[in-house]
Amino acid sequence: MAAETTDLDRMRDQARRWLDDDPDPASRDELWAVLDRLPASAPELADRFAGPLTFGTAGLRGPLRAGPNGMNLAVVTRAAAGLVGWLAAEGGEGPLVIGYDARHGSREFAERTARVATGAGRPALLLPRPLPTPVLAYAVRRLGGVAGVMVTASHNPPQDNGYKVYLGAQLGGALGAGAQIVPPADAGIEAAIRAVGPLAQVPLGPPGQVLGDDLVAAYVERAVAVIAPGPRDLRVAYTPLHGVGAAVLTAAFARAGFPTPGVVPDQAEPDPAFPTVSFPNPEEPGAVDRLVALADATDADLAIANDPDADRCAVVVREPAGTGTGWRMLRGDEVGVLLADHLMRRGVDGLYATTIVSSSLLRALCTARGRAYDETLTGFKWIVRAGGGTPPLAYGYEEALGYCVAPDHVRDKDGITAALTVAELAAGLKAQGRTLTDRLDELAAEFGVHHTDQLSVRVDDLRIIADAMARVRAATPTTLLGAPVTEARDLLPDADVVILRTAAARVVIRPSGTEPKLKAYLEVVEPVAEGDVPAARTRAAAALTTLRAEVATALGI
């Protein structure tokens, strides 16, 4: 009992020190309510103070709540002060460019970041309204920003928000101009954040300059320039999933000469509650049900979804007549290779890159077509730096629906230009009486069926993930699908990743960098005999089902 009392007293002291420093009355009231419910609220209070949010994939991300282990005005003020302090210490000159999505708190956090920047004597340029993340990445390059901040939690649940940081050419170099931060910048910024003193001593300046719509128009013009002249007859159904993509995407399609996509009516406007989806990620079950219904009702040729900040792009296609399966969302690997193949056919030269968890088909394609290839750790912060710039990056993708089709335009994943390029490909195929699935079958006939999938487990207790990773390291499988494991790689300490390969299968196991998930990325390669692609797909699907069960057993989940 004495120990419990001591813990409660310690947590109360922590909370009261935070309250003394918190600039937001609403956040203070929220934390006082938690204190008033002690001792029943002790687990919640302990979680709020378990530690500060740390820089993960390019910045901060967490639930909207009071306390250091959440996204709130105090955490954002401290993050902004640390960032502008680090920029000054590194000798970075120029404006800080700031964008935001339509989530709860996003505009407030963006405006606070601008005032912290101007209070430190640095110009702040604020995007004119809630806009896609790729518009911010573009703006950093176009406006010569020393750095950029995007307030977004991408496709996370409604209760989350986040804070992504980009560097300009001055501190990020040619490869990192307008790209997400990488080590050692992330560690340097985090150290600078920890060194920030009382928030009352952080000077707040004027609100900065709000940019005009000419910036958005310039982004659209550059996006449209990504695709080539050609057929434009294509009926598209579209959803932004209550996010910020609709206005920019429809403007880009119209400017490119495509018919205006039909937009899912009750998902067209930004809404931070995401009321029609249980989870605002196109990959989640049920997320695109309304999109498919619209595509059916309008006899669309294909359907496209962006995630809420429009940096990802999902493609849903009608299955061939007679299959009885209706519509199917293409896997990220399928879209990734379709786009790579399309760009190669258009004569786009340079480096083609993907990540260690993506399909091996891109490597095979590059080998056959004489294109340079590289693979990186997961994340576009690595993809855009693939190969060290020699040859220059032509295209990069990751299986999580992220595609960079124009690195000189946006040096990050971009769901708007990806959607345009998919539409260009689909319209060209339609003019020939063919479809995206026809092209996938052609690639399978040439290179074999590369069937990929995930084993993904969401957890409430992160120790489950740590235990599973320890288990597979301690007892690494020696066979998969009855074949010997020919390669077993542990990427520690550089990355918490285990890779297993056989002659015809590959497994990559890692914790998610943005969500409380353990992920195993699975691939089976099945040769196509006598041109019978459907039979090869059936065999590959069966093998992958078996592989998933074997990996689940090895992880103990």
Q: Give yes or no for a contact between 392 and 350, defined as CB atoms under 8 angstroms apart.
A: yes
Report whether pLDDT(1) > 50. no
H-type helices in 37-124, by residue range? 42-48, 73-89, 106-119
Check whether 66 has a pLDDT greater than 80: yes
- For the range 225-228, what are the long-range contacts, defined as Cβ-Cβ under 8 Å and sequence gap of 24 or more? 225/409, 226/405, 226/406, 226/409, 226/417, 226/420, 226/421, 227/256, 227/420, 227/421, 227/423, 227/424, 228/346, 228/424
499 Rama sector, left if φ>0, alpha if ψ -120 to 50, beta otherwise: beta
User: Residue 135 in contact with residue 105, Cβ under 8 Å?
Assistant: no
Each residue of 320-342: pLDDT tens digit?
865 666 999 999 999 999 999 99
pLDDT average, residue stretch 376-381: 94
Beta strands (DSSP E) in 410-497 are: 449-458, 479-480, 483-484, 487-490
What pLDDT is attached to residue 195?
96
State mean pLDDT over 402-413: 97
pLDDT at site 3: 52
H runs (alpha helix) in 346-401: 361-369, 380-383
Active-site residue flag, 106: no
pLDDT band at 58 (very low <50, low <70, confident <90, very high): low
How many CA atoms lie within 13 Å of 226's alpha carbon, on the beta-carbon side? Answer: 32
- pLDDT, tens digit, 9 for 90 and up, residues 286-308: 999 999 999 999 999 999 999 99
Beta bridge partners of 402: 398
Q: What pLDDT is recorded for position 438?
A: 97
Average pLDDT for 109-130: 98
pTM of the model: 0.95
Q: Tens digits of per-residue pLDDT, 167-183?
A: 999 999 999 999 999 99
Residue 79 tokens read as: 């993050």
Please give the Cα distance from 503 to 332 (Å, whole number): 23
For the chain, what is the mean pLDDT? 95
Q: What is the mean pLDDT of residues 518-525?
A: 97
4 — pLDDT class (breaks 50, 70, 90): low
Q: How many CB atoms lie within 10 A of CB 377?
A: 17
Distance, C-alpha 384 to centroid of its chain = 14
* Mean pLDDT value across residues 232-260: 98
* List 154, 278, 358, 359, catalytic entry: 154
Distance of alpha carbon 446 from alpha carbon 336, whole angstroms: 17
